Structure 1
Amino acid sequence: MVDRNTWSRRTELLALDHAALTRMVQRGCPGAVLSQAALAEGGLANTNYRLELADGRELLLRMHVRSPSDGAKEWLLAERFGGRVPMPAMLHFEAHDADVGLPCTLMAWIEGERLELRASGLDAAARRGLGRQIGAALAHIHAQTYPQTGFLDAGLKLVNPVPMGREGLLACLDAWVVRGRGAARLGAGLTQDLLGFVRANGGLLDGPAQRPCLAHGDFGGANLLIDAEDQLAAVLDWEFAFAGTPFFDLGNLLRAPLGALEGFPEAVAEGYRATGAVLPEEWRLVAGLSDLFSWADFLNVEKASEGLIRDARAVVLSTLKLG
């Protein structure tokens, strides 16, 4: 089971007092009176505060610590997908906030429970219904296509094409695992098994289903909010979005334990295909291969926690079984 609560943060949390938070809120909501503020749970890259105003409104204030350009990108994505995919309403964006010197976004707070926490309590019918909703939401995101895979600028333009097929994955494994920190963390035997698996199956990453499209980039159980009626309430945290393929998001979503929930992966595929989008028969294997890009990166992180390394080993082992 992947447990991000055991992973180390990649950035330091920003501690702000009530006065600073009030000023930041009032830039987007003039005259607002801040009643309460607390650091929001979840997320390992940015600093997020849950805010309650005197008039009863609840907001989320995000400081884009990891990558300043991500704030503008997330704002544009909200404009583009807000009517098609459930997500928080964006209220205000500061490209360079005077109090923190970083881009900051003020958005509506969405009440709900993270899918990773709710999933185990869902009955079979709720699990299938939610899986179909999530699959359909993913298909709407992936409907935006790109000529190549790679990374996007703040205006959602492809600025850094990166190959993400078989040879691209082998190159990442060579850089981050073989020559990086990953091999020592995986062990020699598992490293060789992983390389052999990718050499044997990686050609699937070059198949016709690998159409370059917008990928959310962090489409997992921590970023999907579920409401009290077991409906998808919001897709959160779009700042990692890039030009990838559909299988990056599917691989992220189906990391343990969600991928092991009876009927859930099949329901996701059903909802995805119901929109007219296409998934090949071997889509689970392709998703597992695509997710190895992320895990190779995680394994090379300088200050990787024991929990992250344990999860990486478990994911690699489970991915090998897909073949």
Structure 2
Amino acid sequence: MDGYGLRPLAGGHSGETFLAEAAGERTVVRIYAERGRARGPEAPHVDAAVLGLVRGLLPVPEVLDVRRPDATTGAPGLLVTSFVPGERLDLLLPGLDETSRAAVGRSVGVVLGRLAMMPLPRPGLFVDGDLRVEPLPAGDLVDFVEAHRPGSALEQWADAAYDGLLQVADAAQQLLDAVRRTCLVHSDLNPKNLLVDPRTLAVTGVLDWEFAHAGMPVTDLGNLLRFDRDPAFAGAVLATYTEHVADAPDDVLDLARAADLYALVDLAARRTDNPVAERAHRRLAAIAASGDLHAED
């Protein structure tokens, strides 16, 4: 795409996000090709609407243009946003000292808290630019695990390991049954999708909202702390989240780990897709073997 003034942005696995430069201005162009097209023709408008919903409350880019796919010409959908400055947190975090890791953890905790306090009336997936919600598929976490086994990497698990996973899923579901409130969920809130000012350590951008939905307030906390468990960073995130979320219970980290099982199972079932899926597979195997939601591989 270089010949058209577009350069792929690093950090994602979709290969559909590009940096555009013209007349000294930089914008970000999301082309809804293979992966984006699979979400349906309304995907660009859903993403634009979510950005509009949170803008002013969270640091997100401004929507400059949005287009549905054109069935006549075959042109894919398109979303153009402003360029947000900052350094990706996954690149910045390893080089920070303990004090700075705690400081950036507090900044991220504020973002998590604001998300968790954006109430929505019912859980589900956004289906159009009005953010109408379609109910999530029926079933609980055990059903989700069972549905993801056939034909996936989980089918290769020994019976004992798989039975251990089912027991963990059942225990996690019992925890999640206590979660009554629904909020806006980013659902891919990991350091790769967070931009940070390296001087002030403030979050400057929350990116890649393609998995956003209405769900549980603990989901994004579990996603963020899935792999990033450094005590200074994770402790600051958790403390700040708890401070900002009015109904955060004492066992909020247990709930967050339980909620994150959905994503871990989905990723682990596709372990050969990318390095994150492979790492999720190892983490899920450790959890199943130990029966501990907090287990590390």
Q: TM-score, normalised by structure 2?
A: 0.85
State how far apart, in whole Å, the 2-side matches of 1:265 and 1:278 are. 20
**Following TM superposition, by how much is the alpha carbon of 1:318 offset from its aligned partner in structure 2, in angstroms?**
4.9
Say which of 169, 190, 202 aligns to 1:220.
190
Equivalent in the alignment of 1:78? 51
Q: Which residue of 1 aligns with 2:10?
A: 41
Residue 317 to residue 57, structure 1, CA distance change in 2 (3 Å): same
CA positional deviation for 1:274: 2.9
Alpha-carbon distance in 1 for matches of 2:192, 2:274: 20
Residue identity opposite 1:50 in structure 2: L
1:90-129 Cα shifts (integer Å, max 9, x gaps): 2111223698622211111223222112111122222222
Residues 196 and 279 (structure 1 numbering): CA distance in 2 closer, same or farther, change over 3 Å? same
Where does structure 2 lack aligned partners over 5 or more consecutive residues?
none
What's 1:93 paired with? 66
Amino acid at match of 1:283: V
After superposition, the C-alpha distances for 1:209-249 in whole angstroms (9 at most, x for unaligned) are 44121111211111111122122110001121111102221
2:143 equivalent among 171, 179, 182: 171
Question: By how many angstroms is 1:322 displaced?
Answer: 3.4
Taking only aligned residues, the RMSD between alpha carbons, in angstroms, comes to: 2.4
**Of the candidates 91, 111, 118, which is equivalent to residue 92 of structure 2?**
118
Q: Distance in 2 between matches of 1:254 and 1:287?
A: 9
Distance 1:277 1:17, change over 3 A: same
- TM-fit CA distance, 1:185: 4.1
User: How much does 1:62 deviate?
Assistant: 0.6
**Residue in structure 1 matching 2:20, options 40, 51, 61:** 51
Q: TM-score, normalised by structure 1?
A: 0.79
1:290 aligns to what? 259
2:181 maps to 1:211: yes
Once the two structures are superposed, residues 107-154 of structure 1 have per-residue CA deviations (whole angstroms, 9 ceiling, x without a partner) of 112232221121111222222222122122122222232333221212
Distance of aligned partners of 1:183 and 1:95 in 2 relative to their CA distance in 1, 3 Å threshold = closer
Quickly say closer, same or farther: Cα 1:197–1:96, change in 2 above 3 A.
closer
- Alpha-carbon contact 2:117-2:245 (below 8 Å) kept: no
Between the aligned partners of 1:222 and 1:100, the Cα distance in structure 2 is 31
Per-residue deviation, residues 46-80 of structure 1 (Å, max 9, x unmatched): 51111122x32111111123224221112112212
Alignment pair present for 1:236 and 2:207: yes
Gaps in structure 1 of 5+ consecutive residues: 1-15, 22-35
Q: How does 1:1-323 map to 2 (within 5 A)?
A: 16=1, 18=3, 21=4, 36-45=5-14, 47-53=16-22, 55-65=23-33, 66=36, 67=39, 68-96=41-69, 101-154=75-128, 155-162=130-137, 168-177=140-149, 179-207=150-178, 209-229=179-199, 230-256=201-227, 258=228, 260-301=229-270, 304-305=272-273, 307-308=275-276, 310-319=278-287, 320-322=291-293
Code of the residue aligned with 2:24 in structure 1: it is G
Query: In 1, Cα distance between the equivalents of 2:188 and 2:277?
Result: 19
Q: 2 CA distance for matches of 1:288 and 1:90?
A: 33
**Identity between Structure 1 and Structure 2 (%):** 27
Residues 187, 52 of structure 1: alpha-carbon distance in 2 compared, 3 angstrom cutoff: farther
Assess, with a 3 A threshold, how the Cα gap between structure 1 residues 57 and 185 changes in structure 2: closer, same or farther: farther
SS at match of 2:184: strand
State the Cα distance separating 1:276 from its structure 2 match: 4.3
Residue by residue, what CA displacement relative to the aligned partner does 1:245-273 show, whole Å, maximum 9, x if unpaired?
022211111121x1x21222221122223
Indicate if the aligned counterparts of 1:139 and 1:277 stay in contact, CA closer than 8 A.
Answer: no
Deviation of 1:307 after TM superposition, in Å, equals 3.7
- Cα 1:84–1:214 change in 2 (3 A) is same
Q: Which moved more, 1:182-191 or 1:133-142?
A: 182-191
Distance 1:187 1:45, change over 3 A: farther
8 A Cα contact 2:219 2:256, kept in partner: yes
In 1: Cα distance, 2:204 partner to 2:157 partner: 37
Quick one: structure 1 residues 88 and 318, their matched pair in 2 at CA, closer, same or farther if it must change by over 3 Å? farther
The match for 1:12 is none
**Aligned mates of 2:254, 2:156 — CA distance in 1:** 24
